[in-house]
Structure 1
Amino acid sequence: MGVFSESVEVACSPAGQPVRLVWGNRSYRIVAEPVRWYQRRSWWVEEQRAELGRGAGLVDHEIWRVQIQQGGRSQVRTLDLSRQGNPGRWRLIKVHDAIQSLSA
């Protein structure tokens, strides 16, 4: 498992939910229902001052947990993505350990 920040390209459904992403020049599809939550950020450490009228994205990060797969037979991986700001910049912030198949 790794925690870091790397830019990724994300294609979203009309409802704004991730459906595909490009990471490391490879294209992946989302293979399970993504989960979204908001996480408080320490804006006072990252920003020297908050501009008047700027609030969206200042206090909270929008985080999505997605499960991705390249092609139809590759390993499924779980990633946490952060969507930042109105232009819709996406950052990969965490790669989870590989998911093991639960076949019995």
Structure 2
Amino acid sequence: MGVLTESVDVDCDAEGVPVGVRWRGRAYRVAQDPVRWYERRAWWAEDLRLPRERGAGVVDQQMWRVQVQLGPRTELLTLELVHTLDTGRWRLLAATSATGIRVGRCA
């Protein structure tokens, strides 16, 4: 997988859990409890060297799977997001409709 380039804006609650996502000019609300896990990012492919005293936020990134919708009676979309802790940047990895159709994919 290449460098992901599609940025999204994410609104979070006080605990840092996503509650809303703005993507391609539309504002989605999170409709179900999001799922979070952590993955190591390939920092060596992006940086020549890991700076001293910059650990977990550079090496680990939060991965989120959120189900969102535009309104109460609209179709659910499942978004796979990555939150880079060091920069605070949110990026979209994939978007899938409730029927399993891939809506968008970044690579």
Q: TM-score range by the shorter chain?
A: 0.7 to 0.9
Question: Could you tell me which residue of structure 2 aligns to residue 7 of structure 1?
Answer: 7
Over the residues paired in the alignment, what is the CA RMSD in angstroms? 1.5
Radius of gyration: which is bigger? Answer: 1
What secondary structure does 1:78 align onto? strand
Amino acid paired to 2:45: V
Question: Could you tell me which residue of structure 2 aligns to residue 39 of structure 1?
Answer: 39
Question: Could you tell me which residue of structure 2 aligns to residue 89 of structure 1?
Answer: 89
> Please, which moves more after superposition, 27-36 or 40-49?
40-49
Per-residue deviation, 1:41: 1.8
What secondary structure does 1:44 align onto? helix
Aligned partners of 2:30 and 2:66 also within 8 Å: yes
Aligned-pair identity in percent equals 46
Q: Is residue 78 of structure 1 aligned with residue 73 of structure 2?
A: no
The unaligned stretches of length 5 or more in structure 2 are 100-107
Per-residue deviation, 1:28: 0.4
Question: Could you tell me which residue of structure 1 aligns to residue 104 of structure 2?
Answer: none
What secondary structure does 1:22 align onto? strand
For 1:8 and 1:44, locate their aligned partners in 2 and report how far apart those are by CA, in whole Å.
24
> Please, which moves more after superposition, 14-23 or 42-51?
42-51
> Please, which moves more after superposition, 23-32 or 57-66?
57-66
What secondary structure does 2:57 align onto? coil
Q: Is residue 65 of structure 1 aligned with residue 65 of structure 2?
A: yes
Aligned partners of 2:60 and 2:85 also within 8 Å: no
Aligned partners of 2:34 and 2:65 also within 8 Å: yes
What secondary structure does 1:94 align onto? strand
For 2:60 and 2:29, locate their aligned partners in 1 and report how far apart those are by CA, in whole Å.
26
What secondary structure does 2:63 align onto? strand
Aligned partners of 2:66 and 2:80 also within 8 Å: yes
Amino acid paired to 1:91: R
Q: Is residue 99 of structure 1 aligned with residue 102 of structure 2?
A: no
Normalised to the residue count of structure 1, the TM-score between the two structures is: 0.83
Q: Runs of 4 or more off by more than 6 Å in structure 1?
A: none
